[in-house]
C-alpha cells in the first residue's frame, strides 16, 4: 500500500504503515494503518465499505446494556450536588463516606454543568449514560447515534438515530465518550460540534491517545487501535492541532486509562482475542492472570494516568 499524506496535518515525511488485526470480535482480519511522522496520529488507510459488519448489535459493548430509568430521589440529588458543587456539605459528606466518586461526576464538575443544562451525548448507544445522569437529577438529556436501530424515548430522555451532521440546535454540553475515534474527517466533525455547542460552553471528547505507554509497550497489539472500528487514533499533538484549527481552547486534559485495556493488549500479543474462551474478559480463571498480575496492571494504570502516559484521555474543548 502507498504511503499517503496525513489526514490531520497533511505531512508526508516519515509516515509509517502497520498491519493491525481485528481482535475485539476475534475475526483476525488484517487492516493497514498509518502513523503520521509529524502529528503522531494513527489512521486507518482504507475504510471498509461494509463497516457495519464490524458493529454487530449483539456483543458490541455500546449496544448490549439494558436501558432502565431510576427516578432521582432527594438523597441522591443531595449527594450529587455535594460532589458537583460542594453544596449541603454535611448531609452530602455523610452520604459520600466510603463512596468512590465515579468518573461521571468529574465529567459534569470540570465544565460546571447544571441540572437543567441541555446535554447531548454523541454516540450514545442505548443511552445507558444518559439514564445514569437522569438518575442523578439532570433533566435535559438527548442522545444521538447513527448505528442504533431506531429512535427511542425513555421518560424525558430522547435518543435519535442520526449523525451530528443531521443534528440542529445548540446545547450547553456535548459529550463524546469513545466516539470521536470512530469518525472520519475529524476537523469537519469538530467544526460541526462547534456549531452545536453554545458560546462559553464545553465539548468533552474521551478518546484513546496514540504514542503513549501502551503503544510503546504493545505496538500493533495495543487494544485501543481496535481495527477497523477506530478510524483515527489521535495523539496529544493531533488533538491540539485540530482543536485550535476548529476554534476551540483546549482547557483541560485528564488521563483516564483503565487496566482492562492493558490486559486486553497483553492478550492480543499472545494471539488471544477478546471473546476467546481463555480471555480474561470471558473466563478469568482460564486466562492465567492471577490476582498479582491484575494488581500490577492496575498500579501501572494509576502511574500512567498520573504521569500523563496513559492510553486514554478526556479532552475539554471550550468554545470562546
Residues interacting with Zn ion, by CB under 5 A? 6, 8-9, 11, 36, 38-39
Instruction: In angstroms, give the least distance from the CB of 11 to Zn ion.
Output: 5
The nearer residue to Zn ion, 35 or 224, going by C-beta atoms, is: 35
The nearer residue to Zn ion, 36 or 205, going by C-beta atoms, is: 36
Residue 310, Cα to own-chain centre: how many angstroms? 13
Q: Classify strands 171-177 and 157-160 as parallel, antiparallel or unpaired.
A: unpaired
Instruction: In angstroms, give the least distance from the CB of 8 to Zn ion.
Output: 4
Instruction: In angstroms, give the least distance from the CB of 188 to Zn ion.
Output: 16
Q: Could you give the CA distance from residue 170 to residue 201 in angstroms, rounded to a whole number? A: 10
- What is the rounded end-to-end Cα distance, in angstroms, of the chain? 42
The nearer residue to Zn ion, 36 or 223, going by C-beta atoms, is: 36
Instruction: In angstroms, give the least distance from the CB of 35 to Zn ion.
Output: 9
The nearer residue to Zn ion, 201 or 234, going by C-beta atoms, is: 234
Query: Backbone phi, then psi, for 306, in 5-degree steps?
Result: -65, -40
The nearer residue to Zn ion, 7 or 182, going by C-beta atoms, is: 7
8 Å CB contact between 205 and 251 = no
Instruction: In angstroms, give the least distance from the CB of 26 to Zn ion.
Output: 31
Q: For the purposes of burial, counting CB atoms within 10 Å of the CB of 318, is it exposed (0-12), middle (13-18) or buried (19 or more)? A: middle
Instruction: In angstroms, give the least distance from the CB of 57 to Zn ion.
Output: 34
251-280 core/surface letters (b: 16 or more CB in 10 A; e: else):
eebbbbbbbebbbbbbbbeeebbbebeebb
The nearer residue to Zn ion, 16 or 216, going by C-beta atoms, is: 16
Q: Could you give the CA distance from residue 63 to residue 179 in angstroms, rounded to a whole number? A: 13
Amino acid at each position: 500500500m502507498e504511503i499517503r499524506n496525513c489526514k490531520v496535518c497533511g505531512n508526508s515525511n516519515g509516515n509509517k504503515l502497520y498491519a493491525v488485526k481485528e481482535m475485539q470480535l476475534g475475526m483476525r482480519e488484517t487492516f493497514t494503518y498509518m502513523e503520521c511522522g509529524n502529528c503522531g496520529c494513527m489512521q486507518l488507510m482504507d475504510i471498509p465499505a461494509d463497516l457495519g459488519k464490524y458493529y454487530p448489535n449483539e456483543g458490541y459493548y455500546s449496544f448490549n446494556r439494558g436501558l432502565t430509568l431510576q427516578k432521582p430521589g432527594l438523597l441522591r440529588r443531595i449527594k450529587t450536588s455535594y460532589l458537583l458543587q460542594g453544596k449541603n456539605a454535611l448531609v452530602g459528606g455523610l452520604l459520600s463516606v466510603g463512596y468512590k466518586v465515579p468518573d461521571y461526576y468529574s465529567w459534569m464538575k470540570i465544565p460546571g454543568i447544571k441540572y437543567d443544562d441541555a446535554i447531548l451525548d454523541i454516540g450514545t448507544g442505548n443511552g445507558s449514560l444518559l439514564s445514569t445522569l437522569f438518575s442523578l437529577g439532570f433533566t435535559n438529556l438527548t442522545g444521538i447515534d447513527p448505528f442504533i436501530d431506531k429512535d427511542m424515548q425513555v421518560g424525558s430522555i430522547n435518543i435519535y438515530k442520526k449523525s451530528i451532521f443531521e443534528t440542529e440546535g445548540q446545547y450547553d454540553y456535548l459529550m463524546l465518550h469513545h466516539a470521536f475515534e470512530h469518525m472520519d474527517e475529524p476537523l469537519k466533525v469538530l467544526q460541526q460540534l462547534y456549531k452545536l455547542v453554545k458560546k462559553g460552553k464545553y465539548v468533552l471528547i474521551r478518546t484513546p491517545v496514540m504514542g503513549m505507554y501502551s503503544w510503546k509497550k504493545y505496538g500493533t497489539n495495543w487494544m485501543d487501535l481496535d481495527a477497523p472500528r477506530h478510524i483515527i487514533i489521535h495523539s496529544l499533538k493531533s488533538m491540539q492541532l485540530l482543536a485550535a484549527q476548529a476554534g476551540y481552547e483546549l482547557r483541560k486534559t485528564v488521563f483516564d486509562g483503565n487496566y482492562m485495556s492493558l490486559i486486553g493488549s497483553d492478550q492480543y500479543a499472545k494471539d488471544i482475542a477478546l471473546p476467546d474462551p481463555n480471555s480474561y474478559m470471558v473466563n478469568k480463571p482460564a486466562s492465567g492472570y492471577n490476582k498479582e498480575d491484575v494488581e500490577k496492571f492496575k498500579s501501572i494504570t494509576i502511574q500512567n494516568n498520573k504521569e500523563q502516559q496513559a492510553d486514554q484521555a478526556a479532552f475539554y474543548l471550550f468554545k470562546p
